[in-house]
A = this chain, B = another copy of it.
């Protein structure tokens, strides 16, 4: 009764959500803070409009795309506390450069569907966001995974030379997952300069608000770059499912065509309104990001002091290991103490654990648990 397609599928395994007891959840890279209080007002206002919920939503998310473009222009594309020039991006992002979907996972799916093909591999890092191989399987796209360097950084040179060899598109997360390490904008510019100009070059910036870099300024120079962003991390919106891509209007037009061929109303009306409201409250979002970065840096210092090997995270999580203790063991002992962190069985990173940054109180509980072990 099942399709051949079905037999090829490999379900993605999300961070666990056990319900046997209350846990401090540091396993899904969620934001410990709620979204801007403006969400509540925007949603309440939307609920007052009696006909709104019964009508199909704007299929183009028009107002939301205007709000996102303004948000990027007003923040310079980054929420982290870096010195901000008045015109950091160097150009103005317009709403026709924005494509919205139900979380960046759906946006990524449309990117894979629209730009990657079965006749050439997509170049990606060996360890990166685990949804990329899932989509390759789904769309029957071959992969060329490039090993990370000895220091766990992306091997930019090798990725580009593989892309040149097969005239292939490139995708990676920056900061990367689960390492948390990031290439600088200049390093990415160097890559895209040498990558095939006739193929898309995708940078997944899910975590970039917690770093000090964004590749958005490269949009002014390269019309084959696609930047993917999510509301789930820095904007505290994981429960609402909202992500977007930023690219030149002709690539966005292609994504819209794919969407309209497949599911013509992906973002519901409440999420459209709530997302626009979040974009208007930049000071609140900046404060949340700042707090997370401070706690992250404190955790890195703590772990290093306790003799851990810790990667220099630019994200809202820390990827670390302790010589002589299996990652799985750390995960298990922390879980016994009511705290969930993430461990991957994948060969090559099985020694590590990935810890999402929570509130100060949550991090104090984690540190106490780690001291205890």
Contacts and interface: CB of A to CB of B under 8 A. Distances in A.
Interface residues of A, number: 79
Contact of A34 (B1, B40, B54, B134): B54
Contacts of A103: 263, 265
Given A47-B39, A56-B30, A239-B270, A261 B12 contact: yes
Contact of A57 (B15, B236, B239, B251): B239
A137 interface: yes
A240 B53 contact: yes
A150 interface: no
B6 A260 contact: no
A195 interface: no
A40 B47 contact: yes
B262 A109 contact: yes
B52 A2 contact: no
A28 B54 CA distance: 11
A25 B254 contact: no
Interface of A: 1-6, 9-12, 14-15, 17, 25, 28, 30-35, 39-40, 43-44, 47, 50-59, 102-103, 105-106, 109, 113-119, 134-135, 137-139, 198-200, 224, 232, 236-241, 251, 254, 257-258, 260-266, 268-271
